[in-house]
Amino acid sequence: MEQALSDVRGLSLDLKDIGHAFGATVALDRIDLTVAAGELIALLGPSGCGKTTMLQIIAGFLRPSRGEVRFDGARVEHIPANRRRIGMVFQNYALFPHLTVFENVAYGLRARKTAKDVIAAKVEQMLGLAQMASFARRLPGELSGGQQQRVALARALAIDPGLVLLDEPFSALDKNLRLDMQIEIKSLLKTFGVTSIIVTHDQEEALSMADRIVVLNKGRIEQIDSPDALYDRPASLFISSFIGHTNLLRGTVTDTDRVQLDAGPEIDLGRSAQRRRGTPVTISVRPENITFDAERPGAIPVTIRATVPLGAVSVTEGVTATGEAVKVSQARASGLAKVQAGDMAWLAISDVSRVSIFSTPVDDVSKHQQRSV
């Protein structure tokens, strides 16, 4: 049995040039995505980015206005949801409130007219894996959020799906519980070898769960990459501010490899800025890539606003003369610079190679900046 479970049994998914519009509103545009069998993908994006529409199209609740959906190479747009062999886990779990845990997990099997004893065995196995065996007779209303989550997953997996879709599966959980459940569910999905797609607006969730992350913005795919690549090499200003925290600083290209920051110093990128001289740019520097420095040319002068201890790290925020906020993240273990609100301080970029440059209109920059504060 253990052997069978670790087999790759998920199906592969291809989306080709998917487009969808609700009336005049374009929800999805030119979506191309290939998911390998057994892969765990996160669809990440802010609300209204089109990720739910995409999920509904994959699940078969919505027929795309344009494009192809293929499961294991075969087109499925015409196949209704109830014949797609997809397991779904909803944001609110959508457990049937009038059915017991057992009946919930058995629902898909009964719909498939499975023999009674087979159902009993399968449900028992599923509940065992989800560590919910002792709750079989309970009603969903009598379970905690985490327990409901496990039942929802057991129900989705009981039908031996080729694909599991999880729609914001952790958003209803306590923050403390979230990481535990993320690890637990990731391991369950991996054990089953099922292809999985998690829809989320929470970048931490996406980073911790997914093999690859698809970042959606305004109905389009901005970037598809591994969590690390996404973090270190964001393809757009949007991603750099959406994934993790970052500091955005305005500046102007002064030479092939140099940028004059509005906040003061000119920095040496150590590589080509790939823009003509005089181009206004925004550079993105992660808080952990900034350190406190002494007063010297090249350091950024700021006025300290506040320091927030966050357990393992401590985050200090300063404001440049131009009013741009800059966060500095320091590992507690390596000792903290002693600064107080109102102090003058100088900041330096530790690793210039991890700085991203974007040419973006300034008013757009300030908007992103406000959101990240």
CA distance 262 to 247: 14
Residues 116-155 as x/- pattern, contact with another protein by CB under 8 A: -----------------------xxx-------------x
**Backbone phi and psi for residue 207, each to the nearest 5 degrees, phi listed first:** -65, -40
Residue with tokens 């290939």: 34
| Residue 78 structure tokens | 């015409």
Q: Does 86 bind another protein (CB under 8 A)?
A: yes
Stretch that binds another protein, among 11-19, 65-73, 75-83, 293-301 (CB under 8 A): 75-83
- Candidates 206, 199, 239; CA nearest to 223 is 239
Q: Does 22 bind another protein (CB under 8 A)?
A: no
Q: Shortest approach of another protein to residue 88 CB, angstroms?
A: 4
Between residues 60 and 227, which has the closer beta carbon with respect to another protein? 60
**Backbone phi and psi for residue 340, each to the nearest 5 degrees, phi listed first:** -130, 160
Q: Does 10 bind another protein (CB under 8 A)?
A: no
Q: Does 99 bind another protein (CB under 8 A)?
A: yes
Between residues 80 and 309, which has the closer beta carbon with respect to another protein? 80
Work out whether the CA dihedral 168, 169, 174, 178 comes out positive or negative: negative
Q: Shortest approach of another protein to residue 172 CB, angstroms?
A: 12
- Candidates 263, 207, 215, 242; CA nearest to 372 is 242
Answer whether 95's CB lies under 8 Å from 145's CB: no
Q: Does 111 bind another protein (CB under 8 A)?
A: yes
Q: Shortest approach of another protein to residue 368 CB, angstroms?
A: 33
> Among 75, 112, 116, 277, which residue interacts with another protein (rule: CB under 8 A)?
112
Q: Does 98 bind another protein (CB under 8 A)?
A: yes
- Eight-class DSSP state of 192: H
**Helices 145-158, 175-192: crossing angle, 10 deg rounding:** 20
Between residues 143 and 328, which has the closer beta carbon with respect to another protein? 143
Q: Does 87 bind another protein (CB under 8 A)?
A: yes
Contacts of 363 (CB under 8 A, 6+ apart): none
Total site size for another protein, rule CB under 8 A? 30
Answer whether 289's CB lies under 8 Å from 346's CB: no
Binding footprint of another protein on the chain (CB under 8 A): 59-61, 80-88, 90-92, 94, 96-99, 107-108, 111-112, 139-141, 155-156, 159
